[in-house]
Amino acid sequence: MKPSEHDNKIRLQVFLSHSGVCSRRRALEIIQEGRVTVNQKIIEEPSTPVDPQKDQITVDGKPVAAKQYEYILLHKPQGYVTTRADKFAKKTVYDLLPAEFHHLVPAGRLDQDTEGLLLFTNDGDLVFDLTHPSKEVSKTYFVRVKGLLSPQTVNTIQTGIVLEEKKTWPAQIEHLEWRAGNTEFCITIHEGRKRQIRRMLEAVSYPVMYLQRIQEGSLKLGALKSGQWRRLTTHEIQRLKKR
């Protein structure tokens, strides 16, 4: 299905903020003061939808151009570190991206042995919204552990486990299956401590055999193959920013 023209529109207040003109709060004031025009018409309603690619927008008579953001989804394989350069690492995630994307930063990290969804962007606001603990963005992982996970242990994990004298936030475990002496399941957390899921499961004596991030916020890994990347769709970007 092709996106409609409406999919490209965002609120005027949001556009001014994303374009680097000012903060979102200040944009509200500027618009209400009658200092903003859209296609030569003064607009005083901050929620007015605009198309950054087609509409002519000015502040105090000066044109405002849309800042060009990039949003790249990578399926990180095992064996790659999430860093731009590491003298001790043979392979980094940037080895998987074209040079034109090497200025982008990852929204969060995955350790060397974990694979899955990794978002790269130059949209600092979105990186903050996805990674700051106060935003409580959900992250879902597919996990395989050695041994049969008991109902009591599932409850312990979901309630919270003390790591470094601080209890983890409640987690959610779904799609629990036992296979050949191992357990597979999906776990959703809302914080991002270093190697958190591995450490949580080690704390209850279930070492992780395989770990893959399959979702972050509304963004899903889907059928993207290991080592491949793609640009986010307009719809995916809008959903991430609606948080």
Active site residues: 111
Cβ–Cβ < 8 Å for 59, 36: yes
**Burial call 66-86: b when 16+ CB within 10 Å, e when fewer:** eeeeebbbbbbbeebbbeeee
Do you know the residue count of the chain? 243
- Written as one string, the DSSP assignment of 8-58 is G-EEHHHHHHHTTSS-HHHHHHHHHTT-EEETTEE---TT-EE-TTT--EE
Cα–Cα distance measured from residue 135 to residue 154, given in angstroms and rounded to the nearest whole number: 25
Q: Which helix (H) or strand (E) holds 187?
A: strand 182-189
Cα–Cα distance measured from residue 188 to residue 174, given in angstroms and rounded to the nearest whole number: 8
Cα–Cα distance measured from residue 34 to residue 42, given in angstroms and rounded to the nearest whole number: 6
Residue with tokens 């899955």: 116
Q: Which two tokens stand for residue 214?
A: 């399959």
